[in-house]
Amino acid sequence: MTHQELVEHFERLTLSPELFSHREHVRLAWIYLREYPPLTALEKFCDGLKRFAASLGKADRYHETISWAYLLLIHERMAKTGLAHSWEAFAEANDDLFDWNPSILSRYYREETLQSDVAKRVFLFPDK
């Protein structure tokens, strides 16, 4: 699926959940960060995730801290590496972003923090 197709299906809520793996979440954040200023990308990404989860009847799956933290990490990596032009090069240089259990966030957050109800509702700063 092209970048444009991913964004269009995601925003129209026609993306099959089976095609929206963690890797595709990271790719979507990377696409938004290429196309928009960081705060706009953050807003579009998070609002889209909320709408997508709600469309599947899983609104409770959205997690604000995880969503913001990943997008901010991706933004930082794009700036440090200069790899905003190629998804493949970015993904290869940042393979730690794709680990899920444990995720890269375990470097920054205590597990009990990420599991808290408040972390699901609002962005919490790292506590490690």
Residues 98-120: pLDDT tens digits? 998 899 999 999 999 999 999 99
Please give the structure tokens belonging to residue 52.
Answer: 């997508």
Residues 5-62: pLDDT tens digits? 999 999 999 999 999 999 999 999 999 999 999 999 999 999 999 999 999 999 999 9
Domain boundaries, the chain: 3-121
What is the spatial distance between Cα 58 and Cα 79, in angstroms, rounded to a whole number? 33
Please give the structure tokens belonging to residue 106.
Answer: 């375990």
Residues 62-105: pLDDT tens digits? 999 999 999 999 999 999 988 778 999 999 999 999 998 899 99
